[in-house]
């Protein structure tokens, strides 16, 4: 597959997910810009360092995981406090759980606004960075190996290939 083919393949960042569709454009742009900056930065690093970053990205919590964990903690806390302290605490899970359902159905809920502004990325956004770093490392036959010249030029080519224009 050549670079032109990569440009025309389906890309998770181009196919705005429900989370991206329901996130302010400036927040999406900031997340994309930070990802592109990191890819350019890693273009100067060794394959071992790139591998360490990929491993780190594979452990990164995405929006779904953060939202589910927070909702679970709040709901469980509300149930415990409602059972042992005061029944009024049962309002907490009664408020939190519909938000989680709303996110499952619509891809948006009020806490998502805060989560995205904190820089928490979707799994597709994280995977896009992993793909770019693997390409930098030379994992794909379709992308030419590192050549003489600026590493940033290669990073920009890869960013264009995954849909983030360099």
Tell me the per-residue pLDDT of 71-82, one tens digit each, with 9 for 90 and over. Answer: 999 999 999 999
* Distance from chain centroid for Cα 153: 24
pLDDT at position 145, please? Answer: 57
**Sign, Cα dihedral of 142, 53, 63, 119:** negative
- Domain segments of the chain: what residues? 1-60+123-166, 63-120
Percent of the chain with pLDDT over 70: 83
Question: Cβ(39)–Cβ(96) under 8 Å?
Answer: no
Instruction: Please give the average per-residue pLDDT across 91-116, as a whole number.
Output: 92
Which range among 89-93, 95-99, 146-150, 157-161 shows the weakest confidence by mean pLDDT? 146-150
Comparing CA positions, the residue from 44, 56, 49 lying closest to residue 146 is: 44
Tens of pLDDT, residues 103-115: 888 888 999 999 9
CA 166 to centroid of chain Cα atoms: 19
Residue 148's pLDDT band (boundaries 50, 70, 90)? low
* Residue 96 pLDDT greater than 60, yes or no: yes
């Amino acid at each position: 597959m050549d670079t032109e083919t990569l440009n025309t393949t389906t890309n998770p960042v181009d196919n705005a997910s429900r989370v991206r569709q329901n996130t302010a454009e400036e927040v999406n742009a900031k997340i994309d810009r930070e990802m592109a900056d990191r890819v350019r930065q890693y273009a100067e690093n060794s394959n071992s360092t790139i591998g360490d970053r990929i491993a780190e990205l594979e452990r990164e919590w995405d929006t779904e995981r953060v939202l589910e964990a927070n909702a679970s903690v709040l709901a469980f806390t509300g149930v415990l406090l409602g059972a042992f302290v005061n029944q009024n605490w049962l309002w907490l899970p009664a408020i939190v759980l519909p938000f989680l359902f709303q996110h499952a159905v619509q891809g948006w809920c009020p806490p998502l606004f805060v989560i995205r502004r904190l820089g928490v990325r979707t799994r597709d956004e994280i995977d896009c960075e992993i793909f770019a770093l693997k390409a930098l490392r030379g994992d794909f036959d379709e992308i030419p190996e590192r050549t003489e010249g600026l590493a940033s030029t290669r990073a920009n080519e890869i960013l264009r290939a995954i849909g983030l224009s360099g």
